[in-house]
Structure 1
Amino acid sequence: MCTKIPICKEEYEKEISATREQRMGWWREARFGMFIHYGLYSTKGTHEWSMAYENYTQEEYMEFLKCMTFDASMPEKWVKTAKKAGMKYMVLTTRHHEGFSLWDSAANLYNSVNYGPHLDIVKLFVDACRKEGMRIGFYFSLMDWIHPDAWKCAVDAQARLRFTSYLQEMLRELMTQYGKIDILWYDISRPMTSWEGWDSLRMNQMVRELQPDIIINNRSRLEEDFGTPEEKIDAEKGDWEACMTFNGISWGYIDSDSCIPYSYNAHEIIRMLCKVTAEGGNLLLNIGPKPDGSIPDEVLEPLHTVGAWLQKNQEAVYGRKKPTIVYRTNGLCSATESGKKVWIWNWIWPENRELRLGGFLVRLKQVKELSTGRAVEFEQTERYIRLLGLEEEMRDPLLSISVFELEFEEEPQYARGFLYPQLHLGRTYTEQMEQLKSNLQDR
């Protein structure tokens, strides 16, 4: 329980708002993280919700513990793979809905030290992250399929008190046994439908008392620090992070050979990164390790390629970016933006060796191909910018996704959605329409 007297919701929100800029600073620049779904469901290999979907009793489901032979070296491989992919933080499922904890818990004896691999997987994960300088996140499910009070709590006050106390004791362990933790990632607040029901105000004050710099997502039915749209890139007000499976089917492990047709390739991941960056969010991309903890085969090549591409084009992704309306500066490109710079992501290489970009209303200073730093010749008129002489050598050799950095003399302004003549500084839309009418009459 919280050692301080809990403050009211309004005071709590005021306090966390006052420190949010400092606490969220690193996260807003990180852009890209790895989600790891590992649990007892990994050994079954059909879906992380299999216990519920297939209506297993706990006794039946515990049979899968016999196949849970976790390799203690795997968390280091997770972290090295994430780092090589250009990811800056990681979130591990410390306890999923099945109620099985991956740490040495006194509050929940049904855990990976007492059963299965007899290992503190959370500790192995934390140690591996610290070794590589990776930010650490803990996923924690509020929903529980096996605790006797987990469903009664919605209608029974005493059951609710017992169950929320149980959750808080587990959280206290996670917040005190592993040093500094950067992220608390709650999931599924069922069956109760309010923060009051979950005692989230007391619970989260306890977490913040133990981990003052932590950031918390919005799934305990309090707004907290950031939103988490799931399986979609959908910008939210404030800070947000799109969490995505690797195959659109399961967060947990399923057969690699069967998953290949459904899994993301490097091009798709880069496009997701562009979209979250342009819209002011982050991407948390999931992997579901095999029963021994090894990384699924279909994940490795795309992540390695993405990491190699990001190494050369990182300025267009990392760091604080201004959410921009320039999703398509033409039909072949998207864009990200910060300060006086706009990065043009070219998806389809132009056969005529030039790109024409409409909508920019300020003077362009210089252009370069980002990965090589090679200067690009350009022409700017009242209506468009043309990037000229785009040699084949400028074409990205990894994915054919080249990024052009446009630096302007001042922060860019745009006209979007206008047909010829394009709106530009010094002339109103009405004046331009008059000019267009005059031009047509002259013909």
Structure 2
Amino acid sequence: MKKLLPLACCMLLILVSSFTNETSAQTKPSLSNETPAQKIKRMQWWTDARFGMFIHWGLYALPARHEWVKNQERITNETYQKYFDEFNPDLFEPKKWAKEAKAAGMKYAVLTTKHHEGFCLFDSKYTDYKATKTAAKRDLVKEYVDAFRAEGIKIGFYYSLIDWHHPDFPIDKVHPQRPLTDSDTAYARLNKGRDMAKYRTYLYNQVTELLSNYGKIDILWLDFSYPEKYGKGKNDWNSVALIKQIRKLQPGIIVDNRLDLGDYADGEDFDTPEQVSPEELAKYKGKTWETCQTFSGSWGYYRDENSWKTHRQLLDLLISSTSNGGNLILNVGPTARGEFDYRANNALDSLSHWMHANNKSIYYCSFAPDTYQVPSNDKLTYNAAAKRLYVHLFEYPADGKLLLPGYKGKIKYAQFLHDNSELKMMEQGNDILLTLPEKKPVYEIPVVELTVN
């Protein structure tokens, strides 16, 4: 707690430009009276944390071939029912999930309380399509909340605005029962008897349940709007009323940008670049954002999908996010039995090893001031409060020499972050030359910590 107070002051200059740009406001109408400074304070823990866990879990873990399997294979409710009937996560231990997230250095988590398929992991009184009516017979969201909260991890809920199971949700272009050819006539025929107003009430009631029954909720991740023809946007969700209700129930909550409220200065708290490359993250610098990424190519458990990211690729995403002033939320898709599969565990273990030694270069950090040139092939992060600059060595120098261009007079001390062992410095013109050991430390991407003047 002692660290947060000075940081809130020292990071103000870096963060205020970001929030001020987004709310620059008065060019857009506002839904609240929150000032940019108040937003900074509300979101401070999140911008300090930098790293979170996404958990996509639902009935789609049983077919185990993508969380959009119902859409991709145009499966009807009747055919999909077998997954509800067979859902029995006998190995579900959220305390184990929470410990794995904490060990990997994740400071917050977001669980899919309901995905597009419409199945609820929580005990909603507005539907029987929920975990408590399956063989699980448990409110899985409550157990998640209790377990992660006990580990000091901030609590987030994902909730899909879409619902492919609800009888009143109008069929649209992403619905499993969409027509083969788009036409007004085809959609009118399919949607006869469906009532968006009734579904909207259902959505509103369920969000109210989630934000009323589980104590303090730190993040709400709503997904998603597609307001083009044969889609759905803010008018369909009545997003203005919904976000006002959200903030009334949980005044300190952080909400993503998928309610289609970009026309309002305060309709969203952060951007959500999804599955983008580390290089693409540079264009979000100066904004408030979180990139959502998977370990593999799918969000839900996909047994036969093998394009899993390497340890180096995961570190690159984490470092690149922080070095551009954003967050990374990495996804795990548990199996139908309720546990992380071996590939996810291997990825988390590799992150645990690196983060244990190098997390100071991530937490409380952002992009470095322009006065510090980035050494060749490396990446910088910066902790303004601690006056620390971190050089992430993506290419370890073969000759053991690291050139810091234009750093003369800017650095007091240099050391490896993982063990606080000194690195000798020598001025070379306007530069500083660091002498590193010939043998690379046992980390995929070692980190040099520089104390700046």
Q: TM-score range by the shorter chain?
A: 0.7 to 0.9
| Rounded Cα–Cα distance in structure 1 between residues aligned with 2:29 and 2:199 | 25
| Rounded Cα–Cα distance in structure 2 between residues aligned with 1:312 and 1:84 | 12
| 1:252 aligned residue | 300
| Rounded Cα–Cα distance in structure 2 between residues aligned with 1:379 and 1:334 | 21
Q: Out of 22, 40, 57, which is 2:41 matched to?
A: 22
Report the residue type matching 2:341 in the other structure: P
Q: Out of 275, 299, 303, which is 1:231 matched to?
A: 275
8 Å CA contact retained: 1:30, 1:318: yes
| Residue 229 of structure 2 corresponds to residue 182 of structure 1 | no
| Rounded Cα–Cα distance in structure 1 between residues aligned with 2:241 and 2:371 | 43
1:302 CA displacement: 2.3
| 1:391 aligned residue | 437
Count residues in correspondence.
394
Moved more, 282-291 or 196-205: 196-205
Report the residue type matching 1:364 in the other structure: I
Report the residue type matching 2:275 in the other structure: E
Matched position secondary structure for 1:244: strand
Deviations 1:358-408 (A, max 9, x none): 2446532211111111111112244422112x1246x32143x22111222
| 2:167 aligned residue | 148
**Length-normalised TM-score, structure 1:** 0.83
8 Å CA contact retained: 1:152, 1:160: no
8 Å CA contact retained: 2:413, 2:451: yes
Report the residue type matching 1:162 in the other structure: K
Matched position secondary structure for 2:54: strand
Matches within 5 A, 1:215-230: 215-222=254-261, 223-230=267-274
Report the residue type matching 1:272 in the other structure: L
| Residue 392 of structure 2 corresponds to residue 345 of structure 1 | yes
| Residue 285 of structure 2 corresponds to residue 241 of structure 1 | no
| 2:240 aligned residue | 201
Matched position secondary structure for 1:44: coil
| Rounded Cα–Cα distance in structure 1 between residues aligned with 2:373 and 2:90 | 46
5+ residue gaps in structure 2? Answer: 1-27, 173-186, 262-266
8 Å CA contact retained: 2:332, 2:340: yes
**Length-normalised TM-score, structure 2:** 0.81
Matches within 5 A, 1:65-76: 65-71=84-90, 73-76=92-95
Larger radius of gyration: 1
| Residue 208 of structure 2 corresponds to residue 159 of structure 1 | no
1:116 CA displacement: 4.4
Matched position secondary structure for 2:74: coil
Deviations 1:339-363 (A, max 9, x none): 3432111122222111113244653
8 Å CA contact retained: 1:279, 1:324: no
Deviations 1:215-237 (A, max 9, x none): 10010112411111100153535
- Higher relative contact order, structure no. (Cα contacts within 8 Å, ≥ 6 residues apart): 2
In 2 relative to 1, CA 61–398 (structure 1 residues): closer, same or farther, beyond 3 Å?
same
Matches within 5 A, 1:42-441: 42-71=61-90, 73-151=92-170, 159-190=195-226, 192-222=231-261, 223-232=267-276, 233=278, 234=281, 235-236=283-284, 238-247=287-296, 249-255=297-303, 258-259=304-305, 261-322=306-367, 329-339=374-384, 340-360=387-407, 362-388=409-435, 390-392=436-438, 395-399=440-444, 401-409=445-453
Moved more, 154-163 or 369-378: 154-163
| 1:424 aligned residue | none
How many percent identity over aligned positions? 36
Superposed CA RMSD: 2.5
| Rounded Cα–Cα distance in structure 2 between residues aligned with 1:273 and 1:296 | 22
